């Protein structure tokens, strides 16, 4: 599954009319923060350290390879948090999209 398909999966889910604009914005924020970090040395080190986990059918955002579900969640969450840029504002503490969306990467 490519990153575009990963995003499309979420856009196809039924969500209330009121919540959809915020959900789309959260997903866009998550994917943007992730893709901005995709070439970082830290991610390359993580993939090298866990190379045996680069088998499976789960998405690694910004990477053509797939991985085990546990590594996909770790990798995608780490990547979304890496530059510390995702979905933070005065009404939200932390980065919930990095945690939540990262667990949904299974094809």
* pLDDT(94) > 80: no
Q: How many domains does the chain have?
A: 1
The answer to whether position 30 is within a domain reads yes
> Which domain does 69 fall in, by range?
3-102
Which residues have a Cβ under 8 Å from the Cβ of 62 and sit 6 or more positions away? 3, 34, 35, 38, 79
> Number of C-alpha atoms within 13 angstroms, CB side, residue 57?
2
The crossing angle, in degrees rounded to 10, of helices 41-49 and 69-82 is 160
The answer to whether position 60 is within a domain reads yes
Give yes or no for a contact between 86 and 98, defined as CB atoms under 8 angstroms apart.
Answer: yes
Highest-pLDDT range among 10-14, 27-31, 37-41, 85-89 = 37-41
Q: How confident is the model over 36-55, as pLDDT tens digits?
A: 999 999 999 999 999 999 99
Return phi, psi of residue 59, to 5°: -70, 140
What pLDDT was estimated at residue 5?
Answer: 72
The answer to whether position 78 is within a domain reads yes
Tell me which residue of 58, 1, 7 sits closest to 30, measured CA to CA.
7
């Amino acid at each position: 599954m490519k990153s575009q398909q990963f995003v499309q999966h979420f856009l196809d889910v039924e969500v209330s009319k009121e919540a959809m604009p915020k959900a789309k914005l959260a997903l866009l924020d998550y994917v943007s923060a992730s893709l901005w970090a995709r070439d970082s040395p830290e991610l390359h080190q993580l993939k090298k350290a866990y190379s045996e986990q680069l088998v499976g059918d789960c998405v690694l955002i910004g990477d053509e390879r797939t991985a085990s579900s546990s590594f996909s969640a770790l990798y995608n969450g780490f990547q979304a948090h890496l530059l510390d840029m995702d979905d933070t504002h005065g009404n939200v503490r932390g980065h919930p999209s990095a945690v939540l969306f990262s667990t949904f990467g299974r094809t």
